[in-house]
Amino acid sequence: MHPTHNTLSENIRTQAVELLNKHLAAAIDLHGQVKQAHWNVRGPGFIAVHELFDKVAAEAESYSDLIAERAAGLGGVAEGTVQVAAERSFLIPYPLRIADENEHIFAVAATLAAFGQSARDAIGRSETLGDADTADLFTEISRGVDHQLWLVESHVAPK
């Protein structure tokens, strides 16, 4: 840990940084997965879904920035290389050979839901650690992921 005047104990900061880095890897993976869908989607709703996935990817990228800056601000090291993300992400690998817009919508929605659930779990873990600010960061991310999930799932016609 780097020296800091942050008043949280080093023990709390160390554990929070570990939690943040876990989610940093997944946020980088999430961004990559949504870009994969963006680049490869095909179907009658192409332009709408293509542009939606680009916006969702931008949001995912903003989550990784928030997470990394919090880790660094706590005196930790933000471990955010693609190699680290590939090694540590808890997300299920994205199916590379799909093209159909509905399959991409399903895959992106599932990935968003998994990341969102983990962010909600991280809220509780951060609160248990005594780090309300990291809990607040994960609350912001969770809210954002839920919004993106709603936008993606809105492209599925009701039955």
- On whether residue 2 sits in a domain, the answer given is no
pLDDT band at 158 (very low <50, low <70, confident <90, very high): confident
- On whether residue 1 sits in a domain, the answer given is no
The amino acid present at 129, given as its one-letter code, is: L
- On whether residue 158 sits in a domain, the answer given is no
pLDDT per position as a tens digit, 51-65: 999 999 999 999 999
Rounded distance between C-alpha atoms, residue 135 and residue 84, angstroms: 23
Rounded distance between C-alpha atoms, residue 29 and residue 35, angstroms: 10
**125 pLDDT more than 80:** yes
- On whether residue 14 sits in a domain, the answer given is yes
77: which 2 tokens?
């090291």
Q: Considering the entire predicted model, what is its pTM?
A: 0.95
Q: Residue 128: which domain range?
A: 10-153
Number of domains in the chain: 1
- On whether residue 3 sits in a domain, the answer given is no
Average pLDDT, the chain: 96
What CATH number does residue 51 fall under?
1.20.1260.10
Q: Which of 36, 35, 32 is nearest to 86 (CA)?
A: 32
